[in-house]
Structures are given as structure tokens and as C-alpha cells.
């Protein structure tokens, strides 16, 4: 298959899909969603550390749903059975894997940060040497609501990070319409512990995570800062610097991002809501709440939905924008499938259109 070829449901045969790095939380969600997608068939499941073990043994929630074993990564073997791949590998490890798959003509949807940034110097500052410099800058940034047209027919997609997704969906209408000042933007974001991945660690060990809340990578140290600033700058038409503080909260999944920015003259909550509803009109994933109503991660849990809202603090002269998502879905696996749907000309909500599991 040529990488530029566009698939559609009218072609009949299911799209053959591989998932690389399928043993973690994001990989598990990719498999769960793909198994319910009417236009695809999972034909390869890769997990180097679990090679040879049944999927149902490593991911027991898939027992009876996927009769397969994890395989070690082999680009040639994948190319024999798949035409499209999702890569859910760690930053740095993903780039050479993506390059190998692209060389064999597969479309690739990469969930790491390896292809999200556009400036090589910025990438080097935050991540170090790039593992596939020949592909740098070729990916389409996969925030569908902002790059829907560019995603059509895309052969390499950089699926956005979870914090940037929640933050940018809330801030994008304000930046596009010039409703806020851009010299003093603060982002306070809180995430469930699944964002740290499946590997156990002290900070995500239940006795240490269940009864407290803590900030981490404070003072501009979190790598998603560069991604957020890149996309905010593109929306505003000029460079943007933010103060970003992430927090770990005692829940399994979900992100709530709160964006604070100085108001511009004439900005009202109703203008913000109108701008957001105009930008996201027709989106199957984004809901703009009524003025003054604040989102809750519980309302989007287990879904590819995003809830955003706007409030003005008149006394402080600040606009408060909020975005709530499920970090494993709209922040990762669900968004990747949404990108695939748009790239291949499939219904955008196919396989990801359900409501959150509430309560």
C-alpha cells in the first residue's frame, strides 16, 4: 500500500491494523476501541517485553475478545499483515520504530512526543537527539478539532499529549479570536495516576497516591510545556510563553486543565462560549458547557469526549478556561483513532462515539 493512499469504508475490506507497544494502559485502550471499530481488523499486536504471551494473560480485560499473542517488533512481519500502525511506545524509542514502518509504506499514528514539535532546536532542548531526523517535521499534529483538513489523507500523524489536549481545547477559541492577552498565561492541570504508565513507581504506589495531591515538574520542567507553547503560538500568531504546573491527583484517569489569562477589553463569557461553539461546531468529541458551569472529569471518564467552559473573574480581570478529558482516551488512544478516522475518510466518531461511564 502506498502511504499516501486514502482508504474509505466503501472499499469493503477491513483496514488491517497493528498496535505496537500494546502492553500498557494506552495500548490496552487502543485494542479495546479497535475491537469495537466496524472498519478495522487488528492483525498484529506487538509488545517486546511480553512477546510470546497471550494478550488475554497480560490484558485480562480482553479475555475472550482477542485470541492473539504478543509479538516482538518486526517491521517486515508487520508490513506483511497490516497497512496501518499505532505506536504507543515511550518518547525516544518510538522514532526509529516509526521510521521503519514508514519505510515499508505503512501509515503511522504515533502517540509519543517524537514527532509533535516542529523546531529541531526546541526538540533537542526538551528531548535530546532525535531518533529519526529524516522524518522530523513531516507529521501532522493530530488535534483533530484544529487540524481536521490537514489530517485528511495524512500518512504520519503525531497524536497530541494529554495535558496539551485538555489545555489547547479550552484555550484555542480565545487565542484564535484574540479574547485574551498572551503575556501572562497560567496553566494549572491535574491528572490521574494512569498518566504515569503501567510500570509501578513510588509516587503512583497506592499508599502514596491515594490520600494526597502533589505538584510535580514545577517551574517549566514538564516537557509538554514546549508542545503547548508551540500550538498556542500558532493560534495566536506570535510566540507564547506559559507557566505550566501539573499535579497528580488520587484517581485512576482524567485530566482537568485550568487556564488563566488576562482579559482583553470587550471580552465577555458569552463571547467566549460563542467562539468555542463556532470552532467546535460539528465535533463529535467536544462539548462547550453553558457559561459559568465547570466541567468534571467524571463526566468524560471512559470516553473520547472533552468538556470545556469559561468563567470571568471580574475583580482580577482574568478569564478562566477549563478543559476536562479522559487522559487515556481523548488524551491518547481515542484521539489516535479519531485521527485515523479523519485521515482515512471514515466517520469521525466511528469506534469512539460513546458517552462517558457515569457515575
Is residue 319 domain-shared with residue 185, that is, in the same domain?
yes
Q: How many CB atoms lie within 10 A of CB 19?
A: 27
pLDDT attached to residue 8: 41
199 with 221, same domain?
Answer: yes
Residues 124 and 247 in one domain: no
CB 47 within 8 A of CB 25: no
Residues 21 and 120 in one domain: yes
Does residue 333 register a pLDDT over 90? yes
Q: What's the CATH number where 296 sits?
A: 3.30.360.10
Question: Are 85 and 181 members of one domain?
Answer: no
123 is a domain residue: yes
Residues 150 and 29 grouped into a single domain:
yes
Q: Is the pLDDT confidence value at 148 over 80? A: yes
For residue 358, what is its C-alpha cell? 457515569
Catalytic residue from among 46, 87, 162, 339: 162
- 39-48 pLDDT per residue, tens: 999 999 999 8
* Distance from chain centroid for Cα 2: 26
In a domain, 174, yes or no: yes
- The CATH number of whichever domain residue 150 belongs to comes to 3.40.50.720
Q: 170 and 123: one domain?
A: no
The answer as to whether 73 is a domain residue is yes
Domain contains 349:
no
Say whether both 139 and 219 belong to one domain. Answer: no
- C-alpha triplet 191, 174, 297: angle, nearest 5°: 25
pLDDT grade, residue 10 (50/70/90)? Answer: very low
Do both 276 and 314 map to the same domain? yes
Pairing assessment for the beta strands 15-20 and 40-46 based on DSSP bridges:
parallel
User: Is the same domain home to 198 and 336?
Assistant: no
pLDDT at 11: 58
The angle subtended at Cα 234 by Cα 230 and Cα 238, nearest 5°, is: 95
- The reply to whether 351 falls in a domain is no
Give the residue numbers spanning the domain of 337: 9-159+332-343
Model confidence at 324: pLDDT above 70: yes
Q: Does the structure show a pLDDT above 90 at 37?
A: yes
- List the single range of 151-165, 196-210, 284-298 with lowest mean pLDDT: 196-210
Q: Rounded to whole angstroms, how far apart are CA atoms 258 and 262?
A: 14
User: 174 and 168 in contact (C-beta within 8 Å)?
Assistant: no
| Rounded percentage of the chain residues whose pLDDT exceeds 90 | 89
Mean per-residue pLDDT for 36-62?
Answer: 94
Helices (H), ranges, the chain: 25-35, 55-58, 75-81, 94-103, 120-127, 144-151, 162-176, 206-209, 224-236, 269-279, 297-300, 333-343
**What is the pLDDT averaged over residues 330-350?**
98
Which pTM was predicted? 0.94
Separation CA 27–CA 210 (nearest Å): 24
**What proportion of the chain, given as a percentage, has pLDDT over 70?**
96
User: pLDDT tens digits, residue range 86-127?
Assistant: 999 999 999 999 999 999 999 999 999 999 999 999 999 999
Same domain, 336 and 275: no
Q: Average pLDDT of 122-145?
A: 97
pLDDT band, residue 2 (cuts 50/70/90): very low
Q: Which DSSP string corresponds to 241-280?
A: -EEEEEEE-SSSS-EEEEEEEEBPTT--HHHHHHHHHHHT
State the total domains in the chain: 2
**Domain assignment present for 24:** yes
The string of pLDDT tens digits covering residues 159-218 is 999 999 999 999 999 999 999 999 999 999 999 998 877 776 777 777 888 889 999 999
Active site (annotated) includes residue 87: no
Are residues 63 and 197 part of one domain? no
Amino acid at each position: 500500500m502506498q502511504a499516501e493512499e486514502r482508504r474509505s469504508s466503501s472499499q469493503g475490506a477491513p483496514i488491517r491494523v497493528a498496535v505496537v507497544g500494546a502492553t500498557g494502559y494506552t495500548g490496552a485502550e487502543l485494542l479495546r476501541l479497535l475491537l469495537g471499530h466496524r472498519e478495522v481488523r487488528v492483525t498484529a499486536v506487538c509488545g517486546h517485553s511480553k512477546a510470546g504471551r497471550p494478550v488475554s494473560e497480560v490484558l485480562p480485560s480482553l479475555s475472550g475478545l482477542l485470541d492473539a499473542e504478543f509479538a516482538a517488533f518486526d517491521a517486515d512481519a508487520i508490513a506483511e499483515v497490516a497497512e496501518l500502525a499505532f505506536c504507543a511506545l515511550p518518547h525516544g524509542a518510538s522514532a526509529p520504530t516509526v521510521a521503519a514502518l514508514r519505510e515499508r509504506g505503512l501509515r503511522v499514528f504515533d502517540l509519543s512526543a517524537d514527532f509533535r514539535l516542529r523546531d529541531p532546536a526546541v526538540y533537542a532542548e526538551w528531548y535530546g537527539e532525535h531518533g529519526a531526523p529524516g522524518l522530523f517535521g513531516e507529521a501532522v499534529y493530530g488535534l483533530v478539532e484544529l487540524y481536521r483538513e490537514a489530517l485528511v489523507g495524512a500518512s504520519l500523524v503525531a497524536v497530541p499529549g494529554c495535558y496539551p489536549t485538555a489545555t489547547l481545547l479550552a484555550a484555542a477559541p480565545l487565542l484564535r479570536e484574540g479574547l485574551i492577552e498572551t503575556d501572562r498565561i497560567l496553566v494549572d492541570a491535574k491528572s490521574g495516576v494512569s498518566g504515569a504508565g503501567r510500570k509501578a513507581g513510588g509516587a503512583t504506589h497506592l499508599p502514596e497516591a491515594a490520600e494526597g495531591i502533589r505538584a510535580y515538574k514545577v517551574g517549566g520542567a514538564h516537557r509538554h510545556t514546549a508542545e503547548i507553547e508551540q500550538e498556542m503560538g500558532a493560534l495566536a500568531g506570535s510566540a507564547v510563553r506559559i507557566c505550566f504546573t501539573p499535579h497528580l491527583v488520587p484517581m485512576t484517569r482524567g485530566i482537568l486543565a485550568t487556564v488563566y489569562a488576562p482579559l482583553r477589553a470587550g471580552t465577555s463569557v458569552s463571547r467566549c462560549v460563542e467562539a468555542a461553539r463556532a470552532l467546535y461546531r460539528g465535533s463529535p468529541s467536544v462539548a462547550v458547557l453553558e457559561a459559568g458551569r465547570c466541567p468534571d472529569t467524571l463526566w468524560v471518564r471512559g470516553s473520547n469526549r472533552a468538556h470545556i467552559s469559561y468563567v470571568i473573574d471580574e475583580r482580577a480581570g482574568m478569564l478562566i478556561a477549563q478543559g476536562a478529558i479522559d487522559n487515556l482516551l481523548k488524551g491518547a488512544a481515542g484521539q489516535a483513532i479519531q485521527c485515523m478516522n479523519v485521515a482515512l475518510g471514515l466517520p469521525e466518531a466511528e469506534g469512539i462515539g460513546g458517552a462517558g461511564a457515569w457515575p
